[in-house]
Amino acid sequence: MNTLGDVPRYHAEARPDAVAFSFEGRETTFAQLDRHTNQVANALLAAGLSTGDRIAYVGKNSDHYFELLLGAAKAGVVTTPIGWRLAAPEIAYIVGDSEAKLVFVGRELIGHVDAVAAELTHRPVVIAMEAEGAGDYQTFEGWRDAASDVDPHKPIQISDIAIQLYTSGTTGRPKGAMLTHHNLLGMRREAAKNPLEWNQWGPSDVSLVAMPVAHIGGTGWGLVGLINGAKGVVAREFDPTKVLDFIEKDRISKMFMVPAALQIVVRLPRAREVDYSRLTHILYGAAPIPLDLLRECMEVFGCGFVQQYGMTETTGTVVYLPPEDHDPAGNKRMRAAGLPMPGVELKIIDEAGKSLPPNTVGEVAVRSSANMAGYWKLDEATAKTMDADGWLRTGDAGYLDEDGYLFIHDRVKDMIISGGENIYPAEVESAVYGHPHVAEVAVIGVPDDKWGEAVKAVVAPKPGVTPDADDIIAFARTRIAHFKAPKSVDFIPALPRNASGKILRRELRAPYWEGRERQVN
């Protein structure tokens, strides 16, 4: 398997009748997936698309999204999935930026087509993913099934772009990370040379794809299962009660979820009644997890836990914390993001790019075969992020310990400098989170005449409690150094998050910084 198109080809030979995807009662075998992706490729070629052309997908999760992605890959066409929760101008920005020639639209978004089109300077062809609400638009199945199912066998290079995946837009406008076939498949060979116990897949494995496909945690995770020949149960969207149903009825063995999603699932009363005996591993990551939440999940789900650290630009996971380092008694390793995946190199650098010794905080840099080819049409940002030796700056602050474990503090830009001390919000959030009245917490730096910046906690309280700011501050001071504990607490009903479940600290900061420039390194 060298290119994405080889994935259905390989499994159609090896296990033609095994189920590749299950979606709302529709099952697709690997043999069918191979034929459908041939049809998609032929339909795109017939529409005049050629290598490097882009198509976009705007919709919730669907098995047909994966058919589109793999079929496009067979034609050399690049797929850009776009988050369905974005507003029309945000969707239009990505459709316009990617120059997508065809846009495939899910039923939930079909009503937005005109609003999106009004913002565009080019006129892409619209295809409705589902018959429901399709109106005059051609449907995906009609479009696909009109094409030949014979493999076009178009020559594809492993350095060709397969996916243009936009970053989550947590720190600014999303950037189009160009991921090649080699990015998506190269690390697998390294993994095969150094098998990790939690990363073994067998014929009975069933993976749950419940995170949005517009992000690496959805598309990347869906592809991992597929590449390994597992059955992928695709959830249209993240619905916490349905996650429990899938685990019970579809016998899910592995799933990836962001901490914000795990928190909702684990707090459901029924979560303590479900049979988790088939669930071998929960992989979690994409944002820092509060330790108390991790302990709660380990107790309720009782399976192996694996932390994943990575980003869109590194095609997802580059660092993992294996189950054996999850010791609820609280060993120090449980706070780590973990060890480099096979084939991944890590280093910690200062602002000038010089390597720092162990246990010294700096910016995390990554080198692996999964580092993106670059950002689409953003040469300056690409040059700032990647150097000629293949190192990619993550924008995250952290350190490596003497055993090579990576500890992630936070994004460099979110670091609070108060009275000359560096304070990382995630650590403070983890401390505050354990307070019994706190449902969610974000920590930000606000302007302070004396200290430069002061630590503020923004708390969403649990329902039915009357939270007290002083009590929360006192609680934090029992868990972390006084200078790191919040100086003030604000209460809001819920934290602003993006579709990747990440707290939008820049939105929370904005009202306090109005008219002032926040200094970041």
Positions 329 through 358 that interact with ligand ATP (CB under 6 A): 337
Tokens matching residue 155 = 């020559």
Give least dist CB 377 to ligand ATP, A.
15
- Going by DSSP bridges, is the β-strand pair 254-257/206-209 parallel, antiparallel, or unpaired? parallel
* Segment interacting with Mg ion (CB under 5 A) among 163-171, 212-220, 258-266, 402-410: 163-171
Among 41, 214, 408, 455, the residue binding ligand ATP under the rule CB under 6 A is 408
Phi, psi for residue 449 in degrees, rounded to 5 = -60, -35
- Going by DSSP bridges, is the β-strand pair 392-400/406-411 parallel, antiparallel, or unpaired? antiparallel
d(CA 219, CA 165): 9
d(CA 205, CA 263): 24
Question: Pick from Mg ion, ligand ATP, none: which does 307 bind, CB < 5 to 8 A by kind?
Answer: ligand ATP
* Segment interacting with ligand ATP (CB under 6 A) among 39-47, 161-169, 292-300, 466-474: 161-169
Question: Pick from Mg ion, ligand ATP, none: which does 53 bind, CB < 5 to 8 A by kind?
Answer: none
What is the DSSP code (8-state) at residue 333? G
Among 37, 170, 263, 382, the residue binding ligand ATP under the rule CB under 6 A is 170
Our CB check for ligand ATP shows the closer of 29 and 164 to be: 164
Q: Does 309 sit near ligand ATP (CB under 6 A)?
A: yes
Positions 375 through 394 that interact with ligand ATP (CB under 6 A): 394
Q: Does 409 sit near ligand ATP (CB under 6 A)?
A: no
d(CA 306, CA 91): 33
Q: Does 502 sit near ligand ATP (CB under 6 A)?
A: yes
Give the closest residue to 443 by CA, choosing from 456, 460, 430: 456
* Segment interacting with ligand ATP (CB under 6 A) among 186-194, 282-290, 382-390, 471-479: 282-290
DSSP element (H, E) containing 433: helix 425-433
**136 CB neighbour count, 10 Å cutoff:** 6
Give least dist CB 122 to ligand ATP, A.
24
Give the closest residue to 311 by CA, choosing from 401, 196, 255, 395: 395
First to last CA, the chain: 42
- Which residue number is nearest to Mg ion in terms of Cβ? 167
Q: Does 168 sit near ligand ATP (CB under 6 A)?
A: yes
d(CA 259, CA 266): 10
Among 307, 368, 371, 430, the residue binding ligand ATP under the rule CB under 6 A is 307
Q: Does 496 sit near ligand ATP (CB under 6 A)?
A: no
Tokens 């638009």, residue located: 137
* Segment interacting with ligand ATP (CB under 6 A) among 200-208, 242-250, 286-294, 381-389: 286-294
Our CB check for ligand ATP shows the closer of 130 and 292 to be: 292
CA within 13 Å, CB half, 332 = 7
d(CA 211, CA 316): 13
Binding site for ligand ATP (CB under 6 A): 167-172, 174, 215-216, 285-288, 307-312, 337, 394-396, 408, 411, 500, 502
Binding site for Mg ion (CB under 5 A): 167
